[in-house]
Amino acid sequence: MEELANYDQHVEKAIDWIWELLPSIITATIILIAGLWLIKFINRLVRKFFERKDYDLALESFLMHFISAALKLLLFVAVVTQLGVESSSLIAVIGSAGLAIGLALQGSLANFAGGILILFFKPFKIGDFISAQGVDGTVKEITIFTTKLNTFGNQVAIIPNGQLSNNNIINYNAEKTRRDKIDVGIGYGSNIKKAKDILLEICHERTTILKDPEPAVFVGELADSSVNLSLRFWANNEDFWDAHFFVLEELKRRFDEANIEIPFPQRVVHKAD
C-alpha cells in the first residue's frame, strides 16, 4: 500500500509540474510560430530593400543569409528562455558550446571568414565566369559558407569560401575583352603566306572580332610534321565563344578550298611479301 501511495504521489507531482509548465510551453510555441512568421516577413522586407538599392549582388546574398541566421538564433534564445531557462545560464551554455563547436568546426569558421574576404576584396561578383578549384562556371550565389557556380552543363557546383579565398581564381569577366589563341598546323608543302592571309581575312570579316588591337598570326613552331601557326585576336567577353567557334570552322573550310593541308597522325601499314 505504501508503494502505491508513493506512486500516486509521484503521479500527482508530475501532473502538477505539467500544469505549471503548460502555460510556458504554450507561450513558447506561440513565440516560435510567430517568430518564424516574423523572420520570413523581415527577410521579405530586406529582399525588397536590396531590390530598390543598387548594392552588389554578392553582398546582398551574404547579408540576407547572415540576417536570417542571426534572427533564428535570437528566436531560439527567446523560446528556450520562455521555457524557464535563465538567460545568464543560457548565455554561459551558448558560450561554452560555441567554443567547443568552434574548435570542432574550424573549417566552417574558415569558410565564414573566407566569405567576408570575398565580399571585401571582390575577386569576383555574381554573374562572373570564373575558374576555381578545378571548376569552371558562372557565379550564381555567395552564401555565408559557400559559393555556388553554374557550370557549362547547368550543374550547380558548391565550393567552400575558405578554399576560394586562399587559392588561385581566374576571373574571365574581370576585363571587358579577352584575347583568344588558336594554333593550327599546316603541311610543310603548303603556302605559309596564303594560310596567314586566310586567317587574317576571317578575323577582319567577323564583326564580333575586334579590329583594335589588330588580329595577328605568326609561325609559332616548326614541328616534326607541321608548321604550326598561332592566331591571336581580341573579342568582347559576350562575343568571345561566338568568335572562337566561328574561326575554327571557317579556317578548316577555307583551308580545304585553298588546298592547304592540315596534317594529322597517320599510320602506314606495309604488307610483307
Domain ranges of the chain: 2-104, 114-171, 177-257
pLDDT at 237 (0 to 100)? 92
pLDDT at 239 (0 to 100)? 94
pLDDT at 192 (0 to 100)? 94
Calculate mean pLDDT across residues 173-182. Answer: 93
Q: Where does the pLDDT of residue 77 fall: very low under 50, low under 70, confident under 90, or very high at 90 and above?
A: confident
Scanning the structure block, which residue is given the C-alpha cell 576571317?
202
pLDDT at 97 (0 to 100)? 56
Calculate mean pLDDT across residues 155-171. Answer: 91
Calculate mean pLDDT across residues 165-182. Answer: 92
Three-class SS of the chain = CHHHHHHHHHHHHHHHHHHHHHHHHHHHHHHHHHHHHHHHHHHHHHHHHHHHCCCCHHHHHHHHHHHHHHHHHHHHHHHHHHCCCCHHHHHHHHHHHHHHHHHHCHHHHHHHHHHHHHHHHCCCCCCCEEEECCEEEEEEEECCCEEEEECCCCCEEEEEHHHHHHCCEEECCCCCEEEEEEEEEECCCCCHHHHHHHHHHHHHHCCCECCCCCCEEEEEEECCCCEEEEEEEEEEHHHHHHHHHHHHHHHHHHHHHCCCCCCCCCCCCCCCC
Calculate mean pLDDT across residues 94-98. Answer: 57
Given a cut of 60, is residue 68 above it in pLDDT? yes
Q: Where does the pLDDT of residue 7 fall: very low under 50, low under 70, confident under 90, or very high at 90 and above?
A: low
pTM equals 0.60
pLDDT at 28 (0 to 100)? 76
Asked if 232 and 217 touch (Cβ cutoff 8 Å), the reply is yes
Q: Where does the pLDDT of residue 253 fall: very low under 50, low under 70, confident under 90, or very high at 90 and above?
A: very high
How far apart are the C-alpha atoms of 122 and 59, rounded to whole Å? Answer: 10
How far apart are the C-alpha atoms of 253 and 255, rounded to whole Å? Answer: 6
Scanning the structure block, which residue is given the C-alpha cell 596564303?
194
Calculate mean pLDDT across residues 103-121. Answer: 73
pLDDT at 21 (0 to 100)? 65
Average pLDDT, the chain: 81
Scanning the structure block, which residue is given the C-alpha cell 594529322?
264
Question: Could you say which of 2.30.30.60, 3.40.50.300, 2.130.10.10, 3.65.10.10 is the CATH number of the domain covering 114-171?
Answer: 2.30.30.60
pLDDT at 249 (0 to 100)? 95
For residue 84, how many other CB atoms are within 10 A of its CB? 11
Calculate mean pLDDT across residues 12-21. Answer: 64
How far apart are the C-alpha atoms of 182 and 200, rounded to whole Å? Answer: 12
pLDDT at 159 (0 to 100)? 93
Q: What percent of the chain has pLDDT over 90?
A: 41
How far apart are the C-alpha atoms of 226 and 231, rounded to whole Å? Answer: 15
Architecture of domain 177-257: 2-Layer Sandwich (3.30)
pLDDT at 104 (0 to 100)? 46
The CATH number of 2-104 is 1.10.287.1260
